[in-house]
Amino acid sequence: MSEAQPSSRDEMTNRAFRTVLLGIEEIAGKRGMASLLRQANLAQYINNYPPSDLEHGGHLQSYVAQLNRALFDLYGARGARAIMRRVGNEQAKSALQENILVTNATSIALKFLSRRRKVKTVLDTVAKEYSQQLHTTIKFVEDGDVFYWEDPNCNDCINWTSESPVCFVMAGFIHGMVAWAIGSEEFKVEEIECRAKGDPTCKYRITLNAE
Rounded Cα distance, 171 and 85, in Å: 7
Residue by residue, DSSP assigns 160-200 as ---SS---HHHHHHHHHHHHHHHT---SEEEEEE-GGGT-S
Query: Per residue in 49-104, pLDDT tens?
Result: 999 998 999 999 999 999 999 998 888 888 888 999 999 999 999 888 888 767 88
Lowest mean per-residue pLDDT among 94-108, 110-124, 178-192: 94-108
Q: Of 182, 164, 60, 169, nearest to 120 (Cα)?
A: 182
Read off the pTM: 0.87
Give the chain's mean pLDDT. Answer: 90
Q: Classify burial at 18, counting beta carbons within 10 Å of its beta carbon; exposed 0-12, middle 13-18, buried 19 or more.
A: buried
